[in-house]
Amino acid sequence: MRFDSDIKEVKGIGEKTAEPFRRLGINTVEDLIGYYPRIYEKFEIRTAVRDVIEGERNAVEGRIVGSPKVMRFKNKTFVNTYIRDRNGDPMEIRFYNMPYIAKTLKNDSIYVFRGFVRRKGAAVVMNQPRMYKSAEYDLIEGTIGPIYSVTKDVTSAKIAKSVSQVLSLTDRIDDYLTDEELDKYEFCSLPKAMKAIHIPKDEQELYRARRRLVFEEFLSFYHMIRSDEKTGVRRPDPEPFFEVSECNRLKESLPFKLTGAQERTIGEIFNDMTGGFLMNRLVQGDVGSGKTIVALEALLMCAANGCQGALMAPTEVLAVQHFETIKGMCDKYGLCIKPVLLTGKMPAKAKREALAAIKNGEANVCIGTHALFQEAVEFSKLKLVITDEQHRFGVNQREELMKKGVDPHILVMSATPIPRTLALIVYGNVDISVIDELPKNRLPILNCVVDSSYKDKMYSFMTKQIAEGHQVYVICPMIDESEQDNFNLINVGDAAEEIKERLGDSVRVGILHGKMKGDEKTRIMGQFKDGNLDILVSTTVIEVGVDVPNATVMVILNAERFGLSQLHQLRGRVGRGDAQSYCILMSDAKNEAAIKRLKVLNETNDGFEIARKDMQQRGPGDLSGVRQSGELSFGLGDVAEDSDICLLVTDLYEILRKRIGHMKVGKIDFRTI
Ligand code: ADP
Ligand code: MG
């Protein structure tokens, strides 16, 4: 077996089982080793009912008392039962939409129940737990297990098993870092890191393994940038744009005055596009700083010059919102932009029509999700590509586009503040504009961190805001979509039920989550945007970019389950208009790291400050519960989160380049094996 062996050679993977692996992009043994777990789960040490920590996952062993109750309510089923632990303390166990589980819950049988726990008065309730036989749990108690992203016909366990078959191959790798260096940077050796990322002994080892592999990732990326001359030099633009009056006309028609920072940024973009070189520019501006209008000006410039532009958003919801905002402005101000929307979930016919309009040039602005641009979109004259709220592009994107035969101006818009040096690593030779000024009309958001005893007050506050004509977001944590925790979906439903119960029928409540169909999502979002819903209960699908200026209250439930920058993004959904806005972070977490995180958010609204604090606060022990939004992400590394490693790469690059000799870009094969 070698790194480049086909995965069919791995024991247990045959002709047919190889298929789902290939769909995940795993073709060789090397791919398999490089297929890192998406998250990890820690199998907690068993606790007694009286010691459970609320709001967190607990493992409680107990004996089932009596037979389960099965209830139906509005096409949902609930299965309830009680257990008693060693001390005789009772705990209620609830399952949603799992009617079949009732058969398993036999009176007097003993299980370890593992799940999130809430207190309801004196009672302790565990929702949707996973169940283990005692002996089974003995084997995994206290360990950390990998969870892989899966696709149809392959489970995470199957991937774990296949990975474990080939990990010993990594023993053949010689590390090029010295033991002193490993120590100093808190890295594992390379072979150890490759093993431990899949099968970590403990959190400390996982931390070091991850750091090491992130270093590898950044190093090969940096190497690619440094050695690729194409990205180092400015690319001439054979057909520079001309200044057009349309752009000024748009500015003058807007109901508000652009901020100085917006004006400056637009000016820089126009200079790029008329200057004889292709633009490669990053626009950084905190949430709510008004990046969309900047994008629109660029698209207008492009359209008025007879070319096509594309605007890519990271989510369907955001793509639709951009489309509607832009379409609305085109109609209102009579712009020469003819936009089309292109998303994965569109009906086939609409998609065909959109593709045709792009191909024959009838449409001159195409707005959609990233995924689509990787497929077969043919443009007639693409000259500008804008990516919103997503960072993986830059150099890579340009290369991808060039392969398609287009070499456009590139503009990346991001709310994630990263220092300039890091931006240079991520985007290669990029110019940066910073929108460091919020529109004048904004009042700073008022924050509070509260526990669930504040609920009554919160509901009366919501009622008051709604009576004043404002709107409210309520966010519930999005846990694992694919695995056991998927009661998040019910969480949204539950929260909505509770709100309706408390606030009465006159309050219009809508629900939004990732498992809804695209058009349904669009419909609900539209209703909220048009003011036909007072409250939107949602998962993080609304995290980036969504713009409803009339919404003034952001309530985040289980706030401890989100990362700092994610919380900042969520909070950025309010405070977008003239009215005072509020962010209520609700959490019953007792865990110190979580409390610290929420405190940071409570104290500042400044994205840069938060990003800095975020970096300082990370360390071992910060496992899966907190995930960043996935922006800026490489395979493992996150440029914001791992900025110290990023900088280390620039520091060590020259030395390592000499030490390693000839480096080839790739995952493993550029090392001496
Ligand atoms: P983001 O930078 O987060 O993408 P948006 O572009 O969505 O922000 O803008 C947020 C809101 O602020 C929008 O409703 C937009 O119309 C409004 N806006 C943008 N620029 C200004 C400005 N100069 N003055 C007042 N409001 C503005
Ligand atoms: Mg935006």
The 10s digit of each residue's pLDDT in 181-203 is 999 999 999 999 999 999 998 88
Taking the CA of residue 293 as reference, the ligand 1 atom at the shortest distance is 6
Whole-angstrom distance, CA of residue 255 vs CA of residue 260: 16
CA 345, 478, 125 angle in degrees (round to 5)? 135
Stretch (H or E) spanning 372: helix 370-374
Domains 245-435 and 446-604 share a fold: yes
pLDDT class of 616 with cuts at 50, 70, 90 = low
Query: Ligand 2 centre and the CA of 383: distance in Å?
Result: 22
Kindly tell me if the per-residue pLDDT of 612 is higher than 50: yes
Taking the CA of residue 289 as reference, the ligand 1 atom at the shortest distance is 2
3-class DSSP assignment, residue 208: helix
The CATH class for the domain spanning 245-435 reads: alpha beta
Query: Ligand 1 centre and the CA of 577: distance in Å?
Result: 8
The protein residue with its alpha carbon nearest to ligand 1, atom 4, reads: 291
Q: Which ligand is nearest to the CA of 572?
A: 1
Cβ atoms of 390 and 365 closer than 8 Å: no
Query: Ligand 2 centre and the CA of 582: distance in Å?
Result: 20
Residues 6+ apart with CB under 8 A from 445: 554, 571, 574, 575, 581, 582, 583, 605
Q: What is the dihedral of CA 320, 323, 327, 333, to 10 degrees?
A: 120
Query: Ligand 2 centre and the CA of 293: distance in Å?
Result: 9
Orientation angle between helical segments 316-333 and 518-529, nearest 10 degrees? 50
Residue in the block written with tokens 């993004």: 569
Cβ atoms of 395 and 225 closer than 8 Å: yes
Kindly tell me if the per-residue pLDDT of 229 is higher than 60: no
- For residue 228, the tally of other CB atoms under 10 A from its CB is 14
Write down how long the chain is: 673
Question: Which pLDDT does position 484 carry in this prediction?
Answer: 39
Query: Using CB atoms within 10 A of its CB, is residue 614 exposed (0-12), middle (13-18) or buried (19+)?
Result: buried
Question: Which pLDDT does position 98 carry in this prediction?
Answer: 86
Tokens of 114: 């593992």
Pocket probe for ligand 1: among 250, 256, 543, the residue whose CB has the most ligand atoms within 8 Å is 256
Taking the CA of residue 325 as reference, the ligand 1 atom at the shortest distance is 16
The protein residue with its alpha carbon nearest to ligand 1, atom 25, reads: 439
Q: Which ligand is nearest to the CA of 296?
A: 1
Pocket probe for ligand 1: among 251, 312, 547, 550, the residue whose CB has the most ligand atoms within 8 Å is 547
CATH number corresponding to 446-604: 3.40.50.300
Residues 6+ apart with CB under 8 A from 354: 340, 341, 342, 346, 363, 366
Question: Which pLDDT does position 623 carry in this prediction?
Answer: 38
Q: Which ligand is nearest to the CA of 529?
A: 1
121 torsion bin: left (phi>0), alpha (psi -120 to 50), beta (else): left
The protein residue with its alpha carbon nearest to ligand 1, atom 9, reads: 290
**pTM of the model as a whole:** 0.67
Pocket probe for ligand 1: among 576, 581, 605, the residue whose CB has the most ligand atoms within 8 Å is 576
What are the angstrom distances between the C-alpha of 379 and each of 69, 307, 365, 541? 59, 10, 10, 29
Tokens of 547: 């713009």
Domain ranges within the chain, ordered by starting residue: 49-138, 245-435, 446-604
Query: Ligand 1 centre and the CA of 287: distance in Å?
Result: 9
pLDDT, tens digit, 9 for 90 and up, residues 89-134:
999 999 988 889 999 999 999 999 999 888 878 889 998 899 999 9
Q: Which ligand is nearest to the CA of 571?
A: 1
Query: Ligand 1 centre and the CA of 291: distance in Å?
Result: 7
Task: Write down the mean pLDDT value for the chain.
Answer: 84
Taking the CA of residue 294 as reference, the ligand 1 atom at the shortest distance is 6
Was domain 49-138 assigned CATH 2.40.50.140? yes
Pocket of ligand 1, beta carbon within 6 A: 256, 258-259, 262, 285, 287-293, 415, 439, 441, 545, 547, 549, 576
Question: Which pLDDT does position 337 carry in this prediction?
Answer: 96
User: Where is average pLDDT lowest: 81-95, 231-245, 287-301, 481-495?
Assistant: 481-495
pLDDT, tens digit, 9 for 90 and up, residues 251-276:
999 999 999 999 999 999 999 999 99
* Residues, beta carbon < 5 Å, ion ligand 2: 291, 545
- For residue 671, the tally of other CB atoms under 10 A from its CB is 17
Identify the bridge partners of residue 70 per DSSP, sorted by sequence position.
79
